[in-house]
Amino acid sequence: MKYLLSTLLLSLLTNSILAQETNEKKNDSIQRNRLEEVVLTGQYNAQSVNKSVFEIEVLNQEDIQLLAGNNLADVLTQTLNMNVVPQPGKGRSGIEQFGFSSGYVKILVDNIPIIGDEGFGNAIDVTQINLDDIKQIEIIEGSMGVQYGADAVTGVVNIITKKSSDHRWQITPYLQEETVGNEYGWFDEGRHIQSLKVGHNFSDKWYAQALYTRNDFKGFLNNLKGKNYYNHHQPEPINDSLRGYEWLPKEQNTFKGLVNFNNQKYFRAFYKFEYFTEETLGFANNVNFNKNSATQTVNPTANDEIFSSERFYHHLNVSGEIDRQVNYNISTSYQQQVKNYEQFTYYLNSGKKERLDKYDYNTRNGFFSRGTFSNFFNSKKANFELGYEAQLDEGTQSGLALQDISQRNKKNKYNTYSGFVSSEIKPNQTLSFRPGFRLMTSSRFNPQYVASLSSKINLPKDYQLRLIAGTAPKLPDFDQLFTYMVDSNHNVQGNESLRPENGKSIFLHLKKTFWSKDYKLKFRPKLSAWYLDIDDKIDLIVVSNSPLAYRYENIDLYRTWGLSLRNNLSYKNLKTNLGISFSGQSQILNANENYNDDYLYSVEVNTNVSYTVDKWNTTFSTFFKYNGPTYQFVYDGDNSDEITKSKLEGFGWLNTSIRKTFFDDIVVTLGARNVLDVTRVNLRNGPGSTHANGAQSQLLGYGRSYFLKLLYNLNF
């Protein structure tokens, strides 16, 4: 497959080189004189950040390039109120927003949700989202259920891809070599990325683009010793749990295609296709020695595993005007995701593999359609938008019944149909409101009513005040609905009558943009305050003490509030920002006899500086984010009166890079991620540590890594 793709790309490339002569244009990609950012998320039509009723943070292409971001996990580490949370033992990474996990944040690509391989719901491995064709990432904080439906509880991350090019041909190969901590090798260590993107304007109406990227992450051994290891202790070999990788190796291949049509008048359409594969290798940390007592030899075997995922994505979007009046925008998508799980016995002596089992670990097929219609009449004072959304999901998940493999797979369908309406009312120049409402009906849950109200007030002296309130439901995930682990000693059951959790939030933003007289200096501070809660939060609780039985129930209430101050400053070739956020979270655990619902507070700071030296065609940049210590109450299973506080120490992500352009078209980026060399972060009194002073740690990073990216822009 790899060879096939490479050969295909090779021939494509050589053909196009032969077909053209030196007729290249200068690449003006570095545009210093940037206009205000234009955003799409939650908007009736694309418009500037300043005019948007919602408050949107934008990570633009420049930021992503300076971070050498290949996938979403590479870049979101720098965002305030958001964290990338790796699960090294699974080779995956999720995100957290306001301390809530991936399932509460809706990740969209071009305004539509993508299905992942983490089951129903919204949780997705952010390392699977390739960024090689993107224009910008838009991040909204707060519940956006009216606009984006279920699971847009703490916020939305909307990835906007590029759909046009200024050049007739644009061919962009790049190579990126990275160390993984201090591990690097040409084949078996480090991270190796190869990518090729070809874009072509067939006419002023038709544009097409193809992209292939391979991201080969060879894993992070850290203290572990790889797959052929066991402890040759004398006189007997022993298990010391040091086999395998601390961060699982995986290889991803992404193939994307795009065709865009724009009649330059009232009609636009694009079709996007993506084919994605991923293979993650899992290693048993211990081996079975299979000792032969007669010969006094061992024949060590390990139960290793391979997760292989495959995803198809189709997205057709049409937009335009009907009768030069009504704007419409309709997206239709079909996505298919298959994840297989293979278990095999690996014989360390001979290198032989013997398959034990292979099965469908997680499959999803989804049809999605979303349409919005607006601008029904010409009024400067009011506009309204009607929309529908249909999501038809079907899938299976395994691992639900440990004691009986014939019960491990559950198949399920989940269809939702929603209608939503919102209106933007501008009674005068200073005020605009946007009330919204959505009705969601589904095959599994009772109808859900979702509401929002946003308002923007232009205060004197160009201050802008935004007040944004919204709600969004969070659907129960597969485990919560269908887990079944019941035997003579255990009883843990999912609950098919669970209701969605209810999220609601209210945000207040005050900002102003200051300009120097010559417009060279721009300074924009923004102060935000928020309150967000999730009611009916699902928890696994003891439903019967004797015999002991557990079941998932809608029972808890989680709350968070906070304040943040974000500042952007740009002056000539210098761009900086500085943000600080202070937030507290409280949990009301109604199932516990005893709980502590005090707010536990934490602080985050982010900053970045980039400076371009025109003479050298070089940009220096540094990104830094500090995550302050975070606390959690830990409940002692043995003694319900004993509630202790765990503390995850603070840590910082520091990234730095130098990017230089040679001969106008070769871009070299040299940099380091995680300069502060964060690996394990101490967790004091974590759950499971026996009473006081238990020290544990969480593996959050793989240490200081260096990268070199070599990109070639062939434009003509």
Residues in 68-127 at the binding interface with another protein, rule: CB under 8 A: none
**Chosen residue from 31, 264, 378, 546 binding another protein by CB under 8 A:** 546
Residue 46 tokens read as 């694309």
For another protein, which is the closer residue by CB, 165 or 213? 213
For the CB of residue 250, give the shortest distance to another protein in the complex, in Å.
13
Kindly report the three-state secondary structure assignment for every residue of 595-620.
Answer: CCCCCEEEEEEEEEEEEEEHHHCEEE
For the CB of residue 302, give the shortest distance to another protein in the complex, in Å.
8
Using an 8 Å Cβ cutoff, are 39 and 138 in contact?
yes
| Window 466-485: residues binding another protein (CB under 8 A) | none
Draw the binding track, 547-586, toward another protein (x: CB under 8 A; -: no contact): xx--------------------------------------
Residue 198 tokens read as 């070809």
Draw the binding track, 316-355, toward another protein (x: CB under 8 A; -: no contact): ---------------------------x-xxxxxxxxxx-
Reported as half-sphere exposure (CB side, CA atoms, 13 A), residue 604 has a value of 24
Draw the binding track, 371-400, toward another protein (x: CB under 8 A; -: no contact): ----------------------------x-
For another protein, which is the closer residue by CB, 2 or 461? 2
For the CB of residue 111, give the shortest distance to another protein in the complex, in Å.
33
| Window 488-507: residues binding another protein (CB under 8 A) | 488-489
For the CB of residue 177, give the shortest distance to another protein in the complex, in Å.
9
Quick one: which of 604, 605, 587, 583 has its CA closest to 596? 587
Using an 8 Å Cβ cutoff, are 399 and 305 in contact?
no
Cis before 235 (ω within 30): yes
Contacting range for another protein; rule: CB under 8 A; set: 88-96, 135-143, 539-547, 576-584: 539-547
| Window 407-466: residues binding another protein (CB under 8 A) | 407-408
| Window 278-307: residues binding another protein (CB under 8 A) | 284-286, 288-297, 299, 301, 303
Quick one: which of 383, 381, 459 has its CA closest to 426? 381
For the CB of residue 655, give the shortest distance to another protein in the complex, in Å.
24
**Chosen residue from 403, 446, 590, 594 binding another protein by CB under 8 A:** 403
For another protein, which is the closer residue by CB, 399 or 652? 399
Question: Given the structure tokens 């503390």, which residue do they identify?
Answer: 647
Using an 8 Å Cβ cutoff, are 559 and 586 in contact?
yes
Dihedral of CA 509/371/448/425: which sign? positive
Instruction: Tell me the sheet residues that pair with 59.
Output: 137
**Chosen residue from 28, 35, 235, 519 binding another protein by CB under 8 A:** 235
23 binds another protein (CB under 8 A): no
**Chosen residue from 236, 462, 496, 597 binding another protein by CB under 8 A:** 236
For the CB of residue 354, give the shortest distance to another protein in the complex, in Å.
7
Contacting range for another protein; rule: CB under 8 A; set: 89-97, 387-395, 404-412, 518-526: 404-412
Using an 8 Å Cβ cutoff, are 432 and 455 in contact?
yes
**Integer Cα distance of 395 and 413 in angstroms:** 6
Using an 8 Å Cβ cutoff, are 407 and 484 in contact?
yes
Instruction: Compute how many residues bind another protein; rule: CB under 8 A.
Output: 74
Contacting range for another protein; rule: CB under 8 A; set: 10-18, 114-122, 158-166, 451-459: 10-18
For the CB of residue 161, give the shortest distance to another protein in the complex, in Å.
23
**Chosen residue from 87, 228, 263, 443 binding another protein by CB under 8 A:** 228
Contacting range for another protein; rule: CB under 8 A; set: 41-49, 432-440, 495-503, 707-715: 707-715
Using an 8 Å Cβ cutoff, are 121 and 106 in contact?
no
| Window 608-627: residues binding another protein (CB under 8 A) | none
| Window 643-702: residues binding another protein (CB under 8 A) | 663, 665-666
Contacting range for another protein; rule: CB under 8 A; set: 116-124, 406-414, 561-569, 650-658: 406-414
Using an 8 Å Cβ cutoff, are 363 and 338 in contact?
yes
Phi, psi dihedral angles at 499 (to 5 degrees): -100, 160
17 binds another protein (CB under 8 A): yes
Residue 373 tokens read as 């219609």
Using an 8 Å Cβ cutoff, are 498 and 536 in contact?
no
Instruction: Tell me the sheet residues that pair with 95.
Output: 84
Quick one: which of 280, 238, 241 has its CA closest to 88? 280
Quick one: which of 497, 505, 496, 498 has its CA closest to 450? 505
Q: Report the residue count for the chain.
A: 716
542 binds another protein (CB under 8 A): no
For the CB of residue 344, give the shortest distance to another protein in the complex, in Å.
9
Contacting range for another protein; rule: CB under 8 A; set: 137-145, 238-246, 474-482, 597-605: 238-246
Residue 679 tokens read as 């690996």
For the CB of residue 282, give the shortest distance to another protein in the complex, in Å.
13
Residues 6+ apart with CB under 8 A from 219: 91, 180, 245, 246, 247, 248, 249, 250, 281
Residues 6+ apart with CB under 8 A from 615: none
For the CB of residue 561, give the shortest distance to another protein in the complex, in Å.
35
For the CB of residue 438, give the shortest distance to another protein in the complex, in Å.
41
714 binds another protein (CB under 8 A): yes
